[in-house]
């Protein structure tokens, strides 16, 4: 079992091979992150903006380079799949803080720990929150690594102190 689940806490196996690889995608990098005990009341994954993103718009590859300055690792696609597979039955899994975005905008949380080749380019999978006037929901998607990224594209990051095994 890849996810251990109780009402209060869950485990995410970030050492396992990617749980889901979209059709046509090839995994080119998968950073292992141990077993992450997840509790949405005390999240161990934080949303991080690089210094360049905080200043404005920057190319994704530059963001990826700047993530190396973070005291930890980027969450991989297994964390993304944990969140997406928990919805809509367990909406408490995703911290409410992650939904903070202005109306009529979308937040894209990027999981840089698993990188893919798709259609000749490099991309990472994402989880996006759409704050439309009619629909508010999480969806899975992907982002090209050479896209221009701003503060609407935080990286899901795990501090070294949170990594177990």
Choice among 78-87, 101-110, 130-139 with the minimum mean pLDDT:
130-139
**Token pair belonging to 146:** 């050479």
Residues 41-95 pLDDT 10s: 777 899 999 999 999 999 999 999 999 999 999 999 999 999 998 877 787 788 8
- Residue 102's closest CA among 61, 152, 66? 152
Question: What distance in Å separates the CA atoms of residue 66 and residue 46, rounded to the nearest whole number?
Answer: 16
Q: Which domain holds residue 36?
A: 3-162
The pLDDT, as a whole number, for residue 133 is 59
Q: What is the largest CA-CA distance in the chain?
A: 43
pLDDT at 3 over 50: no
Q: From CA 92, how far away is CA 147, in angstroms rounded?
A: 31
pTM assigned to the model: 0.89
Domain count, the chain: 1
What is d(CA 5, CA 59) in angstroms, rounded to the nearest whole number?
37
Quote the distance between the C-alpha of residue 54 and its chain's center.
18
Average pLDDT, integer, range 103-125: 92
100 token code pair: 């903070």
Please report the pLDDT score of residue 4 as a whole number.
46
């Amino acid at each position: 079992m890849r996810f251990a689940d109780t009402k209060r806490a869950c485990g995410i196996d970030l050492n396992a091979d990617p749980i889901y690889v979209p059709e046509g995608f090839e995994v080119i990098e998968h950073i292992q992150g141990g077993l992450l005990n997840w509790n949405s009341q005390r999240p161990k994954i934080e949303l991080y903006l690089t210094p360049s993103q905080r200043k404005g718009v920057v190319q994704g590859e530059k963001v990826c380079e700047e993530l190396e300055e973070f005291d930890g690792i980027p969450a991989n696609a297994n964390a993304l799949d944990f969140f997406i597979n928990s919805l809509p039955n367990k909406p408490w899994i995703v911290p409410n803080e992650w939904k903070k975005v202005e109306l009529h905008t979308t937040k894209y949380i990027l999981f840089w720990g698993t990188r893919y080749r798709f259609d000749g380019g490099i991309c990472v999978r994402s989880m996006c929150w759409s704050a439309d006037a009619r629909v508010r929901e999480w969806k899975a998607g992907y982002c090209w690594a050479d896209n221009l990224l701003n503060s609407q594209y935080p990286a899901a990051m795990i501090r070294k102190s949170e990594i177990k095994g």
